[in-house]
Structure 1
Amino acid sequence: MRTQPLLDIRRVYVEPEAARLPRGQEILARFPEAELVEVGSHHRIPELYGDETNVNRWVRIKTEALVLGVKKSLTARPNDRSADFIAPSTANGCAMACAYCYVPRRKGYSNPITVFANIDQILGYVRRHAGRQGVKPAPNQADPRDWIYDIGENSDCSLDATISENVRDLVRLFRDLSNAKASFATKYVNRDLLDWDPRGRTRVRFSLMPTADSKLLDIRTSPIAERLAAIDDFVAAGYEVHVNLSPVVVRDGWLESWAELLDQLDAALGPRAKAQLAAEVIFLTHNDRLHEVNLGWHPKAEEVLWRPELQQAKRSQTGGWNVRYRTGQKGRYVAALTELIAARLPYCRVRYAF
């Protein structure tokens, strides 16, 4: 149970250009009592990023700070797993504090929500990009018919929607595209989305893990039971709903815990949800720098995340070390879980597992 609100915005770091745009003005009007701090760049704010002393204020910064900027580089990067393309983001960072999240190790010791105000430019780019793709030539693991655009790679769109209309604008955009669908993963149940009429053109991927793991690792997120209870409602509201079974954390009794979760998922779903269900299975990847950060604010999480006896290291592009379960052992873990899914949820297609 949360003891404080996810967001209590007291300070907004704002680029002047963002403040002049209509969306920027709308966002600022939502927080009239907040202190405004003018910044030259949304990704260069010393008191937020790169200061290791911020680990002591990890959750407080996420709760009280908001950054408002302009997205300069608009690209749709190819993706070969969850989506066909990663759409240009309308936000990054998060007010939640999952202990395994990769974003902090990119942005520094804090990653409050950054919202981009130039939504009209982003919408125009995505519309033109989808138009250039034409008809999808063949089915793939992302989707059998449509081009899939992940609109929430670096943030949680359900939570972003409490701050601005950016996500709703994207859902409206994809509702009218005949060859493309939006997709985003979420750990936050925002029932306001049920009124958006997506008409099957937005895929919501509810992230799930065993309840005990979630209580330890999914800090400040919606409880697993609440996510399970939302699936049927989102399907009824016109969303395509998949599940992200991630991250899978190997610990004593892990497979038994996942069996219990799969049974809970099966019991929560009605016929419509089961008929369209698919899953992604992603085993934990951790990082030495994030490990050090977590030791400063949530060391209990590292007892299950940092397991050198089970993991192997690989140098990351940023110079740190990423760790994942050892080759050979991981293959057996993946096989065990996918076999369990086939047995407990025979109607659920596993889109990919790694």
Structure 2
Amino acid sequence: MALTRDLLDIQTIYHEAAVQDFPLGKEILARFPEAARIIVPSHWNIPALHGNAGSVEDWVRIKRSTLVLGVKKGLSMRPNGRSAHFIAPSTSIGCAMACAYCYVPRRKGFSNPISLFVNIEQACAAIARHAGRQGHLPEPDTIDPECWVYDIGENGDLSVDAAVSSGVGSMIALFRNLPNAKASFATKAVNRTLLDYDPQGKTRIRFSLMPARIAKVVDVRTTPIPERIAAIDDFVAAGYEVHVNFSPVILYEGWEEDWRALFAEIDGTLTDAAKAQLKCEIIMLTHNADLHAVNLGWHPRAEDLLWRPDIQEVKVSEGGGVNLRYRTGWKGQWLARFKALLAEALPYCAVRYAF
């Protein structure tokens, strides 16, 4: 993916003073020599960005023109057990894209542009130490048959980060050389520079997919769905394990027909080699009242799809957040219908995880 001015045109860089002491920090600053630099006490403490409701009006402009650089303080691993065995320390938070359902703006203000952490060597060393303590995966499980899997992109999109920083390449190189561990991250962007990273089967990319006509409304500033599907074969050939995330599954009149068409497109596009290794995750939509209010300020059309209190209910998440999910009982029935459609259309695509 080219670093297009439409997606990223960095004009302002907020950064912690210590960023300049790290090789990756120097590299990124040198990449944008004309950008204004503003030193801040913390990547979390930027009043012009975080918690500033007025920034809703400039949502996309901020994402395009602003970059935040910081030093990651906490480098611990969190157990996961769903998509991955462990959540690795984030190397970024925030995104240049602007998906209307994204949970990250709830955690770090409003527009929430890319924040990159420049102490990549420390993060890699922490992962290597942790993986070394795990030994071999005792037995195959639904996450992976052989390796401990670390999600390295929980709070951002590494495909876009790689257009700004070499840190993503460093992380993929780390896992290439860890005998018992594999990296994993989800993405909504196709960045073909990643094809040169030589992952040797030790990085799993999960392309997020949904019906294209819905993605045009809610997947703002992302790579079009047909391009994501078309890229799968190339990433498999380049040595990646490539899975898909059917995420989020949004319910509306005619959703089954749209997903059936998407499954047919996948089946008609992928080579036998890509199909043989394909697995998926299914994630039903989770929404949030605060995010609903934010979206009404910049993208109300998306809320026609996302805000459905007639079929949603309040649910407190594991982290204590108050969210909206499809109603208990009905959600299970809709998920079963989705799985039945998938099994009929793509019988070779096993479901690793569904929620």
Tell whether the structures are fold-level matches, with TM greater than 0.5. yes
For residues 233-312 of structure 1, the aligned pairs below 5 Å read 233-312=234-313
One-letter identity of the residue aligned with 2:182 = K
Aligned to 1:24: 25
User: What do the CA deviations read for 1:298-335 (whole angstroms, capped 9, x no partner)?
Assistant: 00000010001100012457876310000111111100
SS at match of 1:206: strand
User: What do the CA deviations read for 1:6-55 (whole angstroms, capped 9, x no partner)?
Assistant: 10000000111111211100000000000000001011110000011110
| Equivalent residues of 1:288, 1:320 under 8 A apart | no
For residues 1-354 of structure 1, the aligned pairs below 5 Å read 5-315=6-316, 321-354=322-355
Q: Mark the CA change 1:18 to 1:202 in structure 2 (over 3 Å): closer, same or farther.
A: same
One-letter identity of the residue aligned with 1:312 = E
Unpaired runs of 5+ residues, structure 1, are: none
**Alignment root-mean-square deviation, CA:** 1.2
SS at match of 2:215: helix
SS at match of 1:94: coil
One-letter identity of the residue aligned with 1:221 = T
Structure 1 runs (4+) deviating above 6 angstroms are none
| Equivalent residues of 1:289, 1:320 under 8 A apart | no
SS at match of 1:219: coil
Distance 2:281 2:86 in 1: 16
SS at match of 2:217: helix
SS at match of 1:232: helix
Q: Mark the CA change 1:4 to 1:309 in structure 2 (over 3 Å): closer, same or farther.
A: farther
One-letter identity of the residue aligned with 1:341 = L
Distance 2:273 2:288 in 1: 39
Q: Mark the CA change 1:320 to 1:182 in structure 2 (over 3 Å): closer, same or farther.
A: closer
Distance 1:142 1:350 in 2: 10
CA shift for structure 1 position 352 = 1.5
SS at match of 1:203: strand
CA shift for structure 1 position 5 = 1.2
Distance 2:130 2:116 in 1: 22
User: What do the CA deviations read for 1:261-295 (whole angstroms, capped 9, x no partner)?
Assistant: 00001111101100000000000000000000000
User: What do the CA deviations read for 1:60-99 (whole angstroms, capped 9, x no partner)?
Assistant: 1101110010001101100011000000011110000000
| Equivalent residues of 1:180, 1:201 under 8 A apart | yes
Distance 1:9 1:168 in 2: 21
CA shift for structure 1 position 139 = 1.6
SS at match of 1:80: coil
| Equivalent residues of 1:152, 1:184 under 8 A apart | yes
Q: Mark the CA change 1:295 to 1:22 in structure 2 (over 3 Å): closer, same or farther.
A: same
Q: Could you tell which deviates more after superposition, 311-320 or 242-251? A: 311-320
Q: Mark the CA change 1:318 to 1:136 in structure 2 (over 3 Å): closer, same or farther.
A: closer
Identity of aligned residues (%): 61
Q: Mark the CA change 1:289 to 1:195 in structure 2 (over 3 Å): closer, same or farther.
A: same
| Equivalent residues of 1:247, 1:283 under 8 A apart | yes
Count of residue pairs brought into register by the alignment = 352
